[in-house]
Amino acid sequence: MKTRFAPDRGLSSRMLITSFLLGLLYVGFVALLIALTKSAVLAVVIAGGALFVQYWFSDRIALYAMHGRIVTPEEAPELHGTIDRLCALADMPKPRVAIADVDLPNAFATGRNPKNAVVCVTTGIMRRLDQDELEGVLSHELSHVAHRDVAVMTIASFLGVLAGLITRFGLYGGLGRNRDQNTAVIVLTVIAVSIAVYAISFLLTRALSRYRELAADRAGAMLTGRPSALASALTKISGDIARIPSRDLRQAEPFNAFFFAPAISGKAGASLSSLFSTHPSLEKRLDRLGVLSRELGEQA
């Protein structure tokens, strides 16, 4: 799908490389499962079933978890109007529009492809941002849809989810009930490999997630021509998220990779290594937007 969002070859190459490496990891993981469980059918059912659910129902799962619901133009005319204008400007299909009734100021895009995409905003972000700031956030989210990195992130996170499920199953299910020494060795081997696969896929998807946020910041700001509005939204949201109760932030953390801004407090975010974060630091995002603002000003 060709749109007016600025193409990003760096993002495209990173998505391709990440998908290729995870694909190799996935094939090796399934092969090991087949060898250790002595059941190709079981391994394929586990892997295929998990991938099918995550790919085809990712939008519904995300909306359900965030208490979001699809809204009509009659229910949210201003929100639909803004997305209509941005989609016309970007020359892209309009995604479904959803609102999550939570105070956490955030937004996310989900869906397996542009035709099945959903852009969701929370009531918290709509209440806090002005029109220009909200437009900047929505343009950022629409760029994720246009660049197809939402689908890539959904698939990329699948292997980690699968490895995590198998690890839990082995620890709390098979290991405790198996008395046979050979079976116990097999279970322990599967658990060890699952942990290693989870760790590798975790690092790969986090690296991709950080870059795609910078790419969406740039593409979204270039589409609207107002990097300062997006920078203002980032500053405001990040400050307000730090005041959200920790319990609410913990509930939202599993979706950090898809959020506009990570659901972590300012203190926690500062102490985390950039290697494990889903987003670049606020300072880096603001610096990049500042450079882009000057570039656009020079061209004007």
Active site residues: 141
Would you say 228 and 289 are in contact if contact means Cβ atoms under 8 Å apart? yes
Q: What does the block give as tokens for 67?
A: 């208490």
Q: What does the block give as tokens for 135?
A: 């437009």
Query: Of all helices (H) and strands (E), which one includes residue 43?
Result: helix 40-56
Conformation bin of residue 265: beta by default, left when phi > 0, alpha when psi is -120 to 50: beta
Cα separation, 246 vs 115, whole angstroms: 35
Residue 93 CB-half CA count within 13 A: 12
140 marked among binding-site residues: yes
Q: What does the block give as tokens for 212?
A: 């795609």
Sheet containing strand 107-110, edge to edge, reads 68-70, 96-100, 118-122, 107-110
80 marked among binding-site residues: no
Annotated binding site: 140, 144, 213
Annotated binding site for Zn(2+): 140, 144, 213
